[in-house]
Chains A and B, each alone.
Chain A
């Protein structure tokens, strides 16, 4: 089955990111294909390059990055939600003349059309709310 996932909660304030990560890992283990993971609302903060996870807590971002590397999963941030929360790729940093990029390179910044495309192209669309 082709599955896309939306994550709505901030990485540590909400259990959404952790639950979504576990869901995607399980879906992959069962042989499903993940078309796109779409980070919306505060979930765009999952991509914060400067984040340092506490030693005794799961590193949520590292989990997503590992899946991106091993399975080529697209980790997509909503551009409107990302920009206002200071989440900038190098291209956006240059476009808005900001001092530094803040988004980990495993994540891409996309338009909301990609959310609808993911809904359209997948057999299942699963939302993890904040």
Chain B
């Protein structure tokens, strides 16, 4: 059965393994034809920055994995506007198009899901 699954991505791309490992579960959920949405929050927004090179620290490049998401049918990417304002980030810095949400928009997005996970 296809479910609406929201992944809350709030971890920095390289400070820990959380970001990449979470994206692996995103890819598998999408491959199994779930209706996947992503919400980037807090320092998780740094995952979206262009010009990343994970090879410099012996890791896969998080931004590259994200860029592959539309090919897996993941097209619903949301970003927390208050987080971006706090961190001084704008959509021109990102490798994926996002839809901006304030807290009320995020509440409605979460409310609309079957599953919310990380």
**B28 x A112 contact (CB < 8 A):** yes
Question: B17, B18, B24, B29: which contacts A119 (Cβ < 8 A)?
Answer: B29
Instruction: Using CB atoms, name the residue of chain B closest to A111.
Output: B28
Q: Would you list which residues of chain A between 72 and 130 have a CB under 8 Å from chain B?
A: 80-81, 112-113, 115-117, 119-121, 125, 127, 129-130
Is B3 part of the contact surface with A, judged by Cβ < 8 Å? Answer: yes
**Whole-angstrom distance from the CB of B110 to the nearest CB of chain A?**
13
Chain B residues within 8 Å of A115, by CB: 25, 28-29
Chain A residues within 8 Å of B115, by CB: 119, 125
Chain B residues within 8 Å of A120, by CB: 1-3, 32, 34
With the chains together, A121 CA to B115 CA distance in Å?
12
With the chains together, A41 CA to B29 CA distance in Å?
16
B-side interface mostly: mixed
A-side interface mostly: helix
Chain B residues within 8 Å of A117, by CB: 32
Q: How many residues of A contact B (CB 8 A)?
A: 18
Q: How many residues of B contact A (CB 8 A)?
A: 17
Centre residue among A40, A121, A130 by max chain B CB count within 10 A: A40
Instruction: Give the 7 A-B CB pairs with smallest separation, nearest first.
Output: A112-B28, A127-B117, A116-B32, A125-B115, A129-B118, A120-B1, A116-B29
Query: Residues of B with Cβ closer than 8 Å to A?
Result: 1-3, 5, 17-18, 21, 24-25, 28-29, 32, 34, 115-118
Q: List 20 A-B contacts (CB under 8 A).
A: A8-B18, A40-B21, A40-B25, A41-B18, A80-B24, A112-B24, A112-B28, A113-B28, A115-B28, A116-B28, A116-B29, A116-B32, A119-B3, A119-B29, A119-B115, A120-B2, A125-B115, A127-B116, A127-B117, A130-B18
